[in-house]
Structure 1
Amino acid sequence: MFLAAVINVYLYVARWYDIWTGRPSGRVKDLPFGLVLKITNDPSTAHEGHIINFIREHTSIPVPHVVAAIAWYDRRFVLMKRVHGDNLQAVWRHLDTEQRANIVEQLRSFVLQLRALKSSHGPAVCGLNGAATIDSRVSSYPIGPFADESAFNDGLIDAAEPYLCEEILADVRSRMRDDHQIMFTHADLAPRNILVRGGTIVAVVDWEEAGWYPEHWEFVRAMYFPMARPRDEAWMRAIRDFIPEDYEKDWLVDCELSSRMVGAF
C-alpha cells in the first residue's frame, strides 16, 4: 500500500511535468535505476505482473523481471527491470536469414511451452486465475470470463452485431468451431512485443491480454496486426512456422467479423 501511494504521488508529479514540458504522457514510464513502470486500469482482469511471474515460474520464456505488482483502487502497477534489446518490429527487415530462422525457432518453442500449461478452469475461456480477459480488437473494456468456447464465440458475435446484419452474423456463427482445445495464449505475439539482440530473443513483453483461449487464438491474434503497414510477407510466413497446426480456416472466419468492425487496427 505504501509503495502504491508513493507511485501515485510520482505519477501526479510526472503528469504535470509532462504537461509543462509538452512531452506525451503514456502508460509506460521509464524510471531511474533501470526500472520501467506500466500502468493499467482494468481491475477485473488478471494483473499483468502476476501473469509475467506465472510465465517466468512455469516456462523458460524470457520475460521482464517484475520488481513489484501492485493494485491501488482501479489502477494496476507493474514495476519491472528494463530489458535492453531491439524491438523486433524495428529490426526485422534488417536481419539476415539465419537470424530470422533462429527467432522463429525460439518463438515456436515459446508457443509450445505456453500450450503445455494446464488450466485449472476446465473449458473456460478466461484470464489467469479465471479473471476477465481483454481483446483490444473488440473493446477497450474487459470481456468474459466465458464458460466455454461456445460462449466466447457468442461474445464475438455480440461484439460484431452493430456492424453486420443478422444474416451474415448467423452464417459466420454457424462456421465457428466450438471444439478447440483451451490453451494458454499470449494473444498479442506481434513484433512490437518482442525484444531481440541479433537472432536471440531477450524478452517477450505486453502480457496483459494473455489467458486461456481456444487453441487457434494465438494464430488469429498474431495475424491480426503482425507488422506496421504494409505487411511484411516474410513475417506472415514466420507466423505460420512458429504457431503449430493449420488455423487458416479459423482465421478467415474471424476476419469476416474483425475486418468489418469499427476500431479495427
Structure 2
Amino acid sequence: MFLAAVLNIYVHVQSWYYSWKGVLGTHVHFLPFGLVLKVSSEPTVAHEGHIINFVRTHTSIPVPRVIAATAWYDLRFLLMERVHGDNLQAVWRHLDTEQRANIVEQIRSFVLQLRALKSPHGPAVCGLNGAATIDSRVSSYPIGPFADESAFNDCLIDAAEPYLCEEILADVRTRMRDDHRIVFTHADLAPRNILVHGGTIAGVIDWEESGWYPEHWEFVRSMYYPTPRHDESWLQAVRDFTPEDYEKDWLVDRELSERMVGAF
C-alpha cells in the first residue's frame, strides 16, 4: 500500500511536469533502493510492463522484475527493479571467445523461447495486446495493427516512398515474402539492451517495441543496429543466434532502409 501511494504521488507530479514541458518519448529515472522508473508517452500500444510480465511468465529469459505498471492520462509508468550487469555494447570487444560463444548460445535460446509462444491474434502483425506497436525501423510513431504480413510489408514500402522512386519500390515489393510465420519478437536485440556478467546474461531490457512480427524481423532489427557498429564479430553473432537463415530477407529490406534518412 505504501509503495502504491508513493507511486501515485510520483505519477501526479510527473504527469503535471511532462504535460507542462510538452515532453514526448521515453524517460528513464534511476531511483534509490535499486529501482528504475520508466515514463513513456505512447498510450495506444501495449504497456512495456505487461510485455515484461508476459515474457517472465512464459519463458526463462532474465528480465527486470516489474513492481508496478500503470498509466495516468497519456503517460505510461513502469516501476521495476534495476538489473545489474555490464552493458554488452561496452564489453563485447573485451570478452574472450568462450564468453562470446556462451552469450550467443543464451540469446539463441531466448529467441527460440519467444518463437515458441503462440499468437492469439492469428496472422496479425501487432503488439502484445493486438493493438498498435512501435518500430523505430519504420516510424517514430505507433504503427498497425496489421491484418497480416502483406499489410505490414505495404507499410514498409509506404515508409520508404519519400526516398525511392515508384519503379524501385514496386520491384522491391515483388521480392518481399508475405508468408513468414508470425512469432513473438523482442525487435531490438542490440547489445545496448543486454546486460552481462562475463559470459552470462544477467538481463534483457527495453521490451517496448516487442510484439508479434514476421519471423525474419528479429534478424532484420538486430542487423539494423549493428552495434558495436561495424564490428564483424557481432554481425556474425547475430547470424549465429538467429535460428534460421534470413539473409535474403535482410538484403531485400536493406534496399529500403539504407536509402531512408536516419536508417543507420
Q: Please report the TM-score for the alignment, with normalisation by the length of structure 2.
A: 0.92
Q: Is the 8 A contact 1:4 1:71 kept in 2?
A: no
CA distance in 2, matches of 1:157, 1:77: 33
- The 3-state SS of whatever aligns with 2:63 is coil
SS class of match (1:140): coil
How big is the shift at 1:110?
0.3
**Match runs of 1:221-236 below 5 Å:** 221-229=221-229, 231-236=230-235
| Alignment partner, residue 263 of structure 1 | 262
Q: Unaligned 5+ residue runs, structure 2? A: 19-25
Residue aligned with 1:141, SS:
coil
Aligned to 1:198: 198
Deviation at 1:228, TM superposition (A): 3.8
CA distance in 1, matches of 2:38, 2:93: 28
CA pair 13-162 structure 1, distance change in 2 beyond 3 A: closer
TM-score (norm. length: structure 1)? 0.92
Q: How does 1:152-167 map to 2 (within 5 A)?
A: 152-167=152-167
CA distance in 2, matches of 1:245, 1:80: 33
Q: Distance in 1 between matches of 2:120 and 2:216?
A: 20
Deviations 1:55-102 (A, max 9, x none): 000000000000000111111111010111000000000001111010
- Distance in 2 (alpha carbons) for counterparts of 1:117 and 1:93: 33
Counterpart code for 1:262: V
Matching residue's letter, 1:67: I
What number of residue pairs does the alignment pair up? Answer: 255
Partner SS for 2:154: helix
In the alignment, which residue of structure 1 is the partner of 2:66? 66
Please list the CA deviations of residues 224-252 of structure 1 after superposition, one character each: whole Å capped at 9, or x if unmatched: 002043x1111111111101111000000
Tell whether the 8 Å contact from 2:89 to 2:227 is kept in structure 1 after alignment. yes
C-alpha RMSD over aligned residues: 1.8
Quick check: 1:137–1:263 contact (8 Å CA) kept in 2? no
8 A Cα contact 1:134 1:209, kept in partner: yes
Query: Which residue in 2 is equivalent to 1:246?
Result: 245
Instruction: Give how far 1:13 is off.
Output: 9.6
- 5 Å-filtered alignment, 1:17-56, equals 27-56=27-56
1:137: how far off? 2.1
Is the Cα–Cα contact under 8 Å of residues 87 and 194 in structure 1 kept in the other structure? yes
Query: Take 1:138 and 1:122, find their aligned partners in 2: how far apart are those partners?
Result: 22
CA distance, structure 2, for counterparts of residue 52 and residue 76 of structure 1? 14
2:84 aligned with 1:84: yes
User: How far has the Cα of 1:264 moved from its partner?
Assistant: 1.7
**Helix, strand or coil for the counterpart of 2:68?**
strand
CA positional deviation for 1:263: 2.4
Aligned to 1:21: none
Question: 1:3 and 1:121 mapped to 2: Cα distance?
Answer: 37
